[in-house]
Amino acid sequence: MTAGGKLDTTILDAGGRLGAKGLFGLQNQQFREKLAEFRLPAWRIRQLETALYGQRVTNLDQVTTWPRELREQVAAAGFRVGLPEIVETFRSVDGTERYLIACADGQTVETVWMPEGDGAEDDDSGPESESGSAPSGRSWTRATICASSQIGCAVNCQFCLTAKLGIIRNLSAGEIAGQVAAVLNRQQAEPGRDRINLVFMGMGEPFLNYDAFMDAVRLLAGPMGIPESRMTVSTSGIVPGILRFAGEPVRPRLAISLNAPNDAIREDIMPITRKWAIADVIDAVRKVPLRSRERVTFEYVLLGGVNDQPQHADEVVKLVRRANFPARVNLIAWNPGPGVPFATPDSAAVDAFQQRLRAADIPAFVRRPRGRDIYAACGQLKKTGNQG
């Protein structure tokens, strides 16, 4: 199942091709246009939206608020729910599950379910009420879903396995939100009842697929019922995307993949730094109006011997102070992947790095690697079966 061979760098947008008769992912006016031949009144469209996004039906026949005849007519015209489907599941010893999810054109995308989260989610705000105790037969009280925004990625960070694929294509809004729906259905999780966090940290660079990504966010935060404050989007620092994001009325929390204490090291491991330097990224982030108690996350992948030394921690301290907005740092020990020439840092180096930030009053957290044994951890997603 590996992509193998030469990378396919053609960017194909998902919409308008094979999935043309799929309804999942459409909003408001789009339904009216697509289903024009049925002349549905607004309230029939609302019933459909509730079924698709609130109940997450997988088949038009389950839209029971519609008369059977209407369901049959719409299905007979070739329309389908078109929810992406989980075609393979890899289960880690730690409970993490990695899914291959198939899109209408047969491409697969990766999504990860992490019961109890991995510490990436900054969910200190919001009510705790739903997270009391696990319903019987269930081992988790809260969970995090890690979704992908593209198949592959064009950004080419040297330490990331997804980068090896190159960019295959963008995902549509329905394919992004659909990953979440498929996983919620699989786990029988309900956003209104269960504490579900969502991180857009899977395959791809969300801000290089901006419109589809934000359409998905609006679906998720609206009819799918996941509060925007429980969502985090991670970007490698696409400045025009961050500037657009700053103007969004509904938006996830923001995480920036910093990964280096200065431009020189960052250029080596994230060539995109030549286009947008760290200072440009920070200036753009400053334009994002933060909600009360909101912090921006800096993600920092520790690469043994490259960016994990005490002097690097001191530089990060200065950088975060200069940024001068509420921030936290998430440290991630590099997760290995075949053919990626870096080393996992010593755990002593990880601890020392964290302590140095904390001593300078910068909130710093070490993310637990989840599902490393099934290649589900950060930067390990590569559209593979079992990583031979």
Determine the residue type at 276. W
Count of C-beta atoms within a 10 Å radius of residue 280: 15
Q: Is 162 in the site for ligand SF4 (CB under 6 A)?
A: yes
Q: Is 257 in the site for ligand SAH (CB under 6 A)?
A: yes
Q: Give the whole-angstrom CA distance, residue 273 versus residue 356.
A: 25
- Which backbone phi and psi does 281 adopt, to 5 degrees? -65, -45
* Footprint on residues 159-218 left by ligand SAH (CB under 6 A): 159-160, 201, 205
Q: Which is nearer to ligand SF4, 267 or 314 (CB)?
A: 267
Instruction: Pick one of 179, 236, 273, 297: the residue that binds ligand SAH (CB under 6 A).
Output: 236
For 168: left if phi > 0, alpha if psi spans -120 to 50, otherwise beta; the answer is alpha
* Footprint on residues 251-280 left by ligand SF4 (CB under 6 A): 257
Q: Which of 46, 134, 53, 42 is CA-nearest to residue 95?
A: 134
- Which backbone phi and psi does 108 adopt, to 5 degrees? -115, 150
* Footprint on residues 313-332 left by ligand SAH (CB under 6 A): 332
Report yes or no: 180 and 198 within 8 Å, Cβ to Cβ. Answer: yes
* Footprint on residues 44-83 left by ligand SF4 (CB under 6 A): none
Say which entry of ligand SF4, ligand SAH, none residue 334 contacts (CB below 5 to 8 A, set by partner kind). Answer: ligand SAH
Say which entry of ligand SAH, ligand SF4, none residue 97 contacts (CB below 5 to 8 A, set by partner kind). Answer: none
Q: Give the whole-angstrom CA distance, residue 358 versus residue 176.
A: 36
Q: Which of 302, 289, 300, 369 is CA-nearest to residue 328?
A: 300
Instruction: Pick one of 301, 357, 374, 376: the residue that binds ligand SAH (CB under 6 A).
Output: 301
Residues at the contact surface with ligand SF4, assessed by CB under 6 A: 153, 155-157, 160, 162-163, 204-205, 236, 257, 379
Residues classed as catalytic: 110, 378
Residues at the contact surface with ligand SAH, assessed by CB under 6 A: 153, 159-160, 201, 205, 234-236, 257, 259, 299, 301, 332, 334-335, 337, 378-379
